[in-house]
Amino acid sequence: MIKIYHNPRCGKSREGLQILEESGQDFEIVKYLEDVPSKEELKNLIGKLGISPLDLVRKNEAIWKERYKGKTLSDDEVISAMVEHPKLIERPIVVNGSKAIVGRPPVQIKNIL
C-alpha cells in the first residue's frame, strides 16, 4: 500500500496528494504532525529514502535554527529532534513498498508509482 506523509497546510504536500489522487491507486494518508512517526518508523523511512537523517530536516524552520543549527548532532540526535518536533520533517514523503521519495518537487512522486 502506498503511503503519503502529509501536511495539509503545505502547498507541496497538497500537490503531492493530488498526484496520488490522480494516479487512481489506493493509498494511505499519514498526517505526520498529528500522528508523529516513532524513532523506529523514521529510521525505516530514512533507510528507504537512502539519505542521512540530516537530509530529511527542514533546516529553515525556526525551531531548527534556534535549537540545533551549528551543533554537531549524531544521526540518532537528529532523528530524536524530528520526533520531538515533527515540523522539522521534510514533506511530502511517499512510500511504495520498499521505496520512498521526498516529493520535492512533487512531480518526483510519479517515479515510484
What pTM, to 2 d.p., does this model score?
0.94
Local confidence pLDDT in tens for the 113 residues of the chain: 999 999 999 999 999 999 999 999 999 999 999 999 999 999 999 999 999 999 999 999 999 999 999 999 999 999 999 999 999 999 999 999 999 999 999 999 999 99
Q: Do 8 and 33 form a contact (C-beta atoms < 8 A)?
A: no
The whole-number pLDDT of residue 68 equals: 96
Domain that holds residue 84: 2-112
Cell of 12: 507541496
What b-and-e string marks burial along 5-43, b requiring 16 or more CB atoms within 10 Å of the CB?
bbbeeeebbebbbebbeeeeeebeebebbeebbeeebbe
The whole-number pLDDT of residue 102 equals: 97
Instruction: Count structural domains, the chain.
Output: 1
Cell of 6: 502529509
Q: Per residue in 58-87, pLDDT tens?
A: 999 999 999 999 999 999 999 999 999 999
What b-and-e string marks burial along 81-110, b requiring 16 or more CB atoms within 10 Å of the CB?
bbbebbebbbbbbbbbeeebbbbbebeebe
User: What's 46's domain CATH number?
Assistant: 3.40.30.10
Distance CA 107, CA 50 (A): 19
Q: What are the residue numbers of the active site?
A: 10
The whole-number pLDDT of residue 81 equals: 98
The whole-number pLDDT of residue 9 equals: 95
